Structure 1
Amino acid sequence: MTDNPTIHLVELFPGHLMLNGDMGNIAVLDRRATLAGAAVTVTRVEPGESIPANADIITVGTGPASAQRAIAASLPGLTAPLTAAIEGGAAVFAVNAGFHLLGRSVRHRDGSELRGAAIFPVTTEPSDRQIVTDEFTVDSAEGRLIGVENHAARVHLDADAAPLGTVVRGVGNDGSTEGYRAGVVIGTHMHGPALAMNPLLADVLLRDAFARQGAEYTRTADHDRIDAVARGARQHLARLARVSLDRA
């Protein structure tokens, strides 16, 4: 086993997809990996730039329709390098617009349609209203996730595609399911940032990344202290939503 692995984090298009605090997700991964004894590199990739071949975890945030159009020409070019990264074992964590843009297509309210990167087996259509849920609650394989949703989309998963989880409170993809998941390749509408609010999900990604480097992801007392703060934030939202903090 490797005692001091190097974890390579990549953030896609942060100059365009930077709303709702989602850039905090990569900060969470950086901090938790460092606390677990890893060296960490962070590479920010803008349109026209290459995704590093050694990427362990790739994050994508959200942005308005104008930002999505600005990067639209770059999306088809992501298909091959992202597919190669995923096939090589890299994790992906994409939020809201980033989630939609990694699908096959995104249609906006004005009728325009963007071709996506086709990494996720999903298509996105506009909803008839802005969807805002301050206590967005989802049951996933790892447990109950709580955060915030703010979007105007309906997401359709292919029949054989699996969601991240089931909606307890909020709308998610369609009022029933939320996001997309294939192992450590994840798309979601959850803000918070999602990985700060739900560190168990961050640990899923990091445990996999450490294993790729031949190392064991070991939590510390510092992780526990951070997680206690996150639990308090989730607990507050759970009270507002009148749901239990943990899945029954």
Structure 2
Amino acid sequence: MQSDKLRLIWIYPDLLSTYGDQGNVLVLEQRARRRNIPVETVYVRSADPIPEQGDVYLLGGGEDRPQILAAARLRRDGGLGRAVERGASVFAVCAGYQLIGTVFGGEEGQPVEGVGLIDIGSRRGERRAVGEIVAEVDPELGVPTLTGFENHMGVTDLGPSVRPLSRTVVGTGNGDGTEGCYSGRVLGTYLHGPALARNPGLADLLLSWAMGVETLPPIDDTWHERLRDERLGTVLGRQ
């Protein structure tokens, strides 16, 4: 950590905050405080500069026009890229996931330049992926099975320096049998839900990266596990 507080940066809530993705910020706040870790959360609107001294940067989903505008402003600002170079973590969801790559599909499917934090490219698919998703996480990350909700038309191709976050059991994800990706401490996913409420292990992975530790003290996850069990049981029971 760069200061005496864990600093969370919620990027452009006025542009990128669909399907309750702000809940990801709330989950990180709660899980840190329950471990007596001081937290400061900074909400950065699209007219404001990106602070470069954050520990975890979060981006949510959004519609086509806000996504294009957000990408352009982040490219001009440059603060997020400098924060990543400094060692900060990034958690990006859906539209936020697409725009941290090199290119994504615009309103009419035209290529739009991304921020270029990781080597992925997204394009518009032929069908919208809507519904529950279940995916098995890369064993290197030590995170249990993911559960979430997807609603997108994106197809995302991963470059050689990027690893899939998980492999789909149910749902579409990236469109090739994988879901999401990660490179260093930059992690992206199509999962809403909010993703971190439904996957506390993923939240703790981000916190451990920010704290520079391999494991965190355990906390009571009864409510989260009940939600996970209900969702996983419902989705997998339909097969």
What TM-score comes out, normalization by structure 1 length?
0.86
Aligned-partner Cα distance in 1 for 2:186–2:202:
12
2:55 is matched with: 56
1:99 is matched with: 97
Aligned-partner Cα distance in 2 for 1:169–1:87:
35
Which of the residues 220, 233, 236 maps onto 1:239? 233
Aligned-partner Cα distance in 2 for 1:218–1:197:
19
User: Partner amino acid for 1:186?
Assistant: L
The equivalences for 1:7-46 within 5 A come to 7-46=6-45
1:202 is matched with: 203
The equivalences for 1:84-163 within 5 A come to 84-108=82-106, 110-134=108-132, 136-140=133-137, 141=139, 142-163=143-164
Aligned-partner Cα distance in 1 for 2:181–2:46:
24
Structure 2, unpaired ranges of 5+: none
The equivalences for 1:216-235 within 5 A come to 217-219=216-218, 223-224=219-220, 227-235=221-229
> What secondary structure does 1:128 align onto?
strand
CA deviation map 1:165-186 (0-9, x unaligned) = 1111101001411111124310
Aligned-partner Cα distance in 1 for 2:113–2:15:
17
- Using a 3 Å threshold, how does the CA distance of structure 1 residues 77 and 172 change in structure 2: closer, same or farther? same
Structure 1, unpaired ranges of 5+: 244-248
| Partners of 1:75 and 1:115 within 8 A in 2 | no
Structure 1 segments of 4 or more deviating over 3 A?
A: none
- Kindly tell me the number of residue pairs found equivalent between the two proteins: 232
User: Partner amino acid for 2:236?
Assistant: R
> What secondary structure does 1:73 align onto?
helix
User: Partner amino acid for 2:37?
Assistant: A
How much does 1:197 deviate? 0.5
1:167 is matched with: 168
What TM-score comes out, normalization by structure 2 length?
0.89
> What secondary structure does 2:18 align onto?
coil
How much does 1:194 deviate? 0.6
> What secondary structure does 1:94 align onto?
strand
Aligned Cα RMSD in Å? Answer: 2.2
Aligned-partner Cα distance in 1 for 2:151–2:222:
25
User: Partner amino acid for 1:45?
Assistant: V
How much does 1:9 deviate? 0.4
| Partners of 1:5 and 1:38 within 8 A in 2 | no
How much does 1:156 deviate? 0.8
- Using a 3 Å threshold, how does the CA distance of structure 1 residues 156 and 216 change in structure 2: closer, same or farther? closer
- Using a 3 Å threshold, how does the CA distance of structure 1 residues 160 and 217 change in structure 2: closer, same or farther? closer
| Partners of 1:16 and 1:67 within 8 A in 2 | yes
Identity of aligned residues (%): 32
How much does 1:67 deviate? 1.4
How much does 1:71 deviate? 2.7
> What secondary structure does 2:212 align onto?
helix
Aligned-partner Cα distance in 1 for 2:63–2:176:
22
| Partners of 2:102 and 2:120 within 8 A in 1 | yes
